[in-house]
Amino acid sequence: MTKLWITRPLPEDVVAAARACCDDVVVRSETLPLTDAELRAALTDFDIVLPTLGDQFSAAVFADVPKPRCRLLANFGVGYNHIDVAAAQSAGVAVSNTPGAVTDATADIALMLMLMSARRAGEGERMVRSDDWPGWHPTQMLGLHMSGKKVGIVGMGRIGQAIARRCHFGFGMDVYYFNRSDKDLDFPATHAPDLHTLAQSVDFIVAAVPGGAETRHLIGADVLAAMQPHAHLVNISRGDVVDEAALIAALQSGQIGGAGLDVYEREPEVPKALRALDNVTLLPHLGTAALEVRLDMGLMAVRNVAAFCEGQALPNPV
């Protein structure tokens, strides 16, 4: 009998698909990440676990359970920096994820944040809701026109390319990007040699890199200082890709034009200093928050579970 633990409530169709391929499916009702005790119980009490963002399967967790019953972590999400993959594999635990399913939804959020930040949409809505709007006049809340500007994409993977296509074909923007290597793209784009060169050259920077130790604080005070004073920063990757303290200082001083954030360094904590600023748009990690997207993600995770149960190769191994 195969016992599967789904660590968060998921759409009913996903749970039904899971029950169709596993004998015993337990769905955790909590919406917060697994506790330390639950992380260890996941490895000892279940054959397969379907975790997600925030479920910190660290090396320390695997060290405490050197011979786990669990043999697969079928992650719900494309990002898996909350799982120490090397430690999992050393313990005989496979890891899969859900690439592709999140691409368009996340790219859409990036464009929304670019527009909201550049055109001061959050600030304007707060003005209307607080009954402080004096009425239209020609110099009210002048923002940055996005069409025809230059965008710099940090990380030209699936999501980065989807963002770039929207910017180029939808808004006539010139695309620049910083990536570990040149990309063979189906649209015109310039590969920047380093982040500083990129920051100096563009009107918008969009962070679209994976999380993890290699990208932590990739965008720090030095990159922010290199940006043009009118430029905007958007982060839809992982919160710690941007040095939050440095960003707050840059926004407070007017060093950059503004920012749009869907992720934060210590989610769900959002610093009071950040919340107090008008020149930043703040979203509650909405990147994939559409029912059809979450359904696709869940069914992709379940396909990895089903393949594992049938002794077949995982469709999406990490």
Question: So what's the pLDDT on residue 48?
Answer: 98
Catalytic residue status for 180:
no
- Residue 191 above 90 pLDDT? yes
Catalytic residue selected from 119, 238, 294, 303: 238
Helix (H, G, I), strand (E, B) or coil at 256: coil
Task: Give pLDDT tens digits for 123-151.
Answer: 999 999 999 999 999 999 999 999 999 99
Do residues 149 and 273 share a domain? yes
- Is 318 a domain residue? no
Residue 126 placed within a domain: yes
Which of the four pLDDT bands, split at 50, 70 and 90, describes residue 292? very high
pLDDT at residue 192, as a whole number: 97
Give the separation between CA 175 and CA 44, rounded to whole angstroms: 48
- Whether 264 is covered by a domain: the verdict is yes
Q: Which residues of 18-33 are buried (b: 16+ CB within 10 A; e: fewer)?
A: beebbeebebbeeeeb
**How many domains, the chain?**
2
**Above pLDDT 70, what percent of the chain?**
100
Check if 137 is active-site.
no
In 10 A of CB 160, how many CB atoms? 28
Parent domain of 76 = 3-101+290-309
φ, ψ of residue 283 to 5 degrees: the values are -115, 150
- Give the confidence band of 189 by pLDDT, cuts at 50, 70, 90: very high
Give the tens place of pLDDT for each residue, 226-273.
Answer: 999 999 999 999 999 999 999 999 999 999 999 999 999 999 999 999
* Calpha distance 202→290 (Å, rounded): 30
8 and 58 within one domain: yes
* Mean pLDDT, residues 81-103 taken together: 96
| 49 and 132 part of one domain | no
pLDDT in tens, 24-57: 999 999 999 999 999 999 999 999 999 999 999 9
Say whether both 236 and 112 belong to one domain.
yes
Active-site residue (options: 69, 168, 216, 285):
285
Condensed to tens digits (0 to 9), the pLDDT of residues 273-285 reads: 999 999 999 999 9
DSSP for residue 96? E
Q: Is 41 found in the same domain as 12?
A: yes
Residue 315 maps to a domain: no
- Please indicate, yes or no, whether residues 244 and 128 belong to a single structural domain of this protein: yes
CATH of the domain at 147: 3.40.50.720
User: Would 138 be classed as within a structural domain?
Assistant: yes
Per-residue confidence band for 159, with pLDDT thresholds at 50, 70 and 90: very high
Q: 207-226 pLDDT, tens per residue? A: 999 998 999 999 999 999 99
pLDDT grade for 1, boundaries at 50, 70 and 90: confident
